[in-house]
Amino acid sequence: MALMITDECINCDVCEPECPNQAISMGPEFYEIAPDKCTECVGHFDEPQCVQVCPVACIPVNPDRVETRDQLWSKYRLLIASATP
């Protein structure tokens, strides 16, 4: 399941540097998560780092992008493979 950032985001800038997949970027009004890059930190950490640091708890699971842990591992492996020269 990819995560998403809701419109409750206060643009505090703490989530973006915490993302190991660089899936978080500033959108037109608030930060957004690219679902094709979000693995919920699978392969990097036990817990999603953006959720851990968010002061307003505005990063839920995206109901439109439900993925199993195995799918998140597969996505992680693909992202790592594409980043390797």
Q: What is the mean pLDDT of residues 40-45?
A: 96
CATH for 16-83, options being 3.90.1010.10, 3.40.50.720, 3.30.70.20, 3.40.50.920: 3.30.70.20
Strands annotated E in the chain:
24-26, 31-33
**In percent, how much of the chain has pLDDT > 70?**
98
Task: State the pLDDT at residue 83.
Answer: 78
**DSSP conformation class of 69:** H
Nearest Cα to 5, choosing from 25, 22, 18? 25
Q: In terms of pTM, does the model score above 0.85?
A: yes
Residue with the two structure tokens 């699971």: 61
CA distance 81 to 70: 17
CA distance 7 to 80: 30
